[in-house]
A and B are shown apart, each in its own frame.
Chain A
């Protein structure tokens, strides 16, 4: 484990020394503050729009940070040949993959803490309420969803040649899952065979990330907490996908030439 944590530590250092996070955080803060400073249509419920926009920006920013940070990890190590002195140490390839995953995931967790603290402060300034447990549930499932995205991107970084193409494909794929994944079963019903079976297979194969994504509505509309057993089940479901992607990544990396 010490090797995995050592690799993860370097990934976290890299993230906070680069400008990506700061740029996205400042942009989100600026957009939300500008939105908070005006009351369009003099609507008393304007705070809901504000919260919805802020959460959407947090989701987009966190996905951008997770995908771009992960997509460059292994390709950059190979291109800059930093992999050579690293793998010449008593570090296995699997440990490297798990370290990279853990580093990206923990780094994204830190990013989410910053975003959700800002969101909480912004919402409290208008709502005068701190539904901390709701925020915790939303942030927790959000973070676990990012785990699936990071594992998927790490896998993509080994099978796709360029980090930019991997990042684009992952971003489009995740956006498609978030926006249309839940409707695939309805689409399947409207199809004839064999399309129906194919679309159904796709529906059951893809990781359904929409539950964490829709947790936004609970916060925006001040709905009550969802059951913790349901949160735990969804977390397990998502972690199973992350584990599957990580195992696939380890299997591919085992056969990859180092240089």
Chain B
């Protein structure tokens, strides 16, 4: 039986009104979502749909206004809920005065990895993201693609059971994208759960088991890729249809 790695129930996130008298800005409206063990789950939506806000709630960055969210059954407000997850933000900025090796060692300490285990893991990850030769160089000397790869390595330092990726391929060249896809596939084969947002629908179609489409803070569709695609030629066409349909209904 599949168990819920991510469980979101009736989640509401409202940001305070920008000026006096305005209504609070509802970024997420009564969202219900469950992601199961071993799934690669795509979280889709246009800009401003509420994807990053939902991820921010899962990571404990934003306090929900209502509802609840849990990771592995632990409330997301508890730091321990993040013990088994890896996170790659959309834009990666790391301590530029540290080298990739030092950065990974720092994060390994936070996860409580023993020195020998951390050494082994750092070697393994730097090899995986092809940064072995640059491991001692400060991150400030890295190209954007190299920084993104450091980001991926730090997200995997604790050998996470759940990987949360926010636009993992943004700013990457085709080779970098292929590498990320390979890593996601590899994690899937290892039984890990991957939850990621992306605008690259072709990519989502290739790697995802299930997807959810969110628009204006509301969940519009959730299901297997083939179910969502349905009668449409591709996921992209289905996505546009769902968004357009909802927009025209709303107006």
Contacts and interface: CB of A to CB of B under 8 A. Distances in A.
Contacts of A88: 59-61, 82, 85, 87, 89, 164
B106 A84 contact: no
Interface in B77-111: 79-83, 85, 87-89, 91-95, 97-98, 102, 106-107, 109-111
Nearest to A84: B89
A85 B93 CA distance: 9
B62 A257 contact: yes
Interface in A203-255: none
A90 interface: yes
25 contacts: A2-B109, A3-B110, A6-B109, A9-B106, A9-B109, A14-B95, A80-B93, A81-B89, A84-B59, A85-B87, A85-B94, A86-B110, A87-B61, A88-B61, A88-B82, A88-B85, A88-B87, A89-B107, A89-B111, A90-B79, A90-B81, A91-B110, A92-B79, A257-B61, A257-B62
Interface residues of B, number: 32
B171 interface: no
A56 to B, nearest CB: 31
Interface in B39-93: 56, 59-62, 79-83, 85, 87-89, 91-93
B168 interface: no
B154 interface: yes
A128 interface: no
Interface of A: 2-3, 5-6, 9-10, 13-14, 17-18, 80-82, 84-92, 95, 257-259
Interface of B: 56, 59-62, 79-83, 85, 87-89, 91-95, 97-98, 102, 106-107, 109-112, 151, 154-155, 164
Contact of B98 (A5, A13, A85): A13
Given A87-B59, A90-B79, A6 B110 contact: yes
Given A85-B151, A89-B107, A89-B110, A10 B95 contact: yes
